[in-house]
Structure formats: structure tokens, C-alpha cells
Structure 1
Amino acid sequence: MTSQPDNLMLVYLRRIDEKVDRLSDDVREVNGRMAAVEENLAGVHRRIDRVELRIERIERRLDLADAPH
């Protein structure tokens, strides 16, 4: 009679272990995707910085920019 509850416990523990493994895989995938998003965002920031520099240069050439302080 005591082997039945032990086997049931093992079944539940195995299920929990499988779920934890799946969660671990999901977290690993999310981390990879997040790294890709961060890289892409950094690229966008670099492009925005370059555009801002170009706009400042155009404004200076057209005398639209305020005098530097």
C-alpha cells in the first residue's frame, strides 16, 4: 500500500520537473529575444543621433540655430 503513494509522488515530481524545464527553455528564449531587441534599439538610437547632428548642421548653415552659450 505504501508504494502506491510513493509512485504517485514520483509522477507529480516528474510533471513538476518537466514544467520547470519548459519554463527554463522559455526564459532562455525570451532572454535571446530581449538581447536582439536591445541591439536593434541601440541601432535606432545611433541613427537618431546622426539625424540630430545633421539637423543641427543644417540649422547652422541656414542661420536657424541659436547662438551657442
Structure 2
Amino acid sequence: MTADIESLVLEHLRAIRATQADHGERLTSIELHLATLGQQVGALTTAVYSGKSDLDGLRRRVERIERRLELSES
């Protein structure tokens, strides 16, 4: 009877170890995906601010043209 219990306990421990190994692999995969997402968000942020900078430059040029042509109210 004791051998059966020990065998059952060992079987459960092996199953737990296999499950933990699987979770470890999945966690590593999730960490890689998060790192990739972080890089993509950083690149998108840079692109947005770059576009905003370009838009601000165009806005200043249009305002200057309007002033020179006396099209603006101010």
C-alpha cells in the first residue's frame, strides 16, 4: 500500500513539474511578445511626434504666408 501511495505522489509531482515547465515556456513567450509590443509602441510614438513636428512646421509656414499676403485677421 505504501509503495502505491509513493508511486501516486511521484506521478503527481512529475505532472506538476511538467506543468511548471510548460508555464515557464509560455511565460518566456509572453515576455518576448511584450518586449516586441514595447518596441512597436516606442516606434509609433516617435512617428507621431515626428508627424506632429512636421505639421507644426507647415502651420508656421502657412501663417507666415497669410501674414505676407495679408490674409490673416491679426
TM-score range, shorter chain: over 0.9
1:1-69 matched pairs, under 5 angstroms: 1=7, 2-67=9-74
How many matched pairs? 67
**Higher gyration radius (CA):** 2
Report how far residue 7 of structure 1 moved: 0.1
Could you list the runs of 5+ residues in structure 2 that have no partner in the other structure?
1-6
Q: Which runs of 5+ in 1 are unaligned?
A: none
Using the alignment, how far apart are the partners of 2:50 and 2:71 within structure 1?
Answer: 29
Q: Deviations over 1:4-48 (max 9, x none)?
A: 000000001111111111000000011011111111111101000
CA distance in 2, matches of 1:8, 1:21: 20
TM-score by length of 2: 0.86
Report the TM-score, using the length of structure 1 for normalisation: 0.92
- Larger helix proportion of the pair: 2
Q: Displaced runs of 4+ in structure 1, greater than 3 A? A: none
Q: CA RMSD in A?
A: 0.7
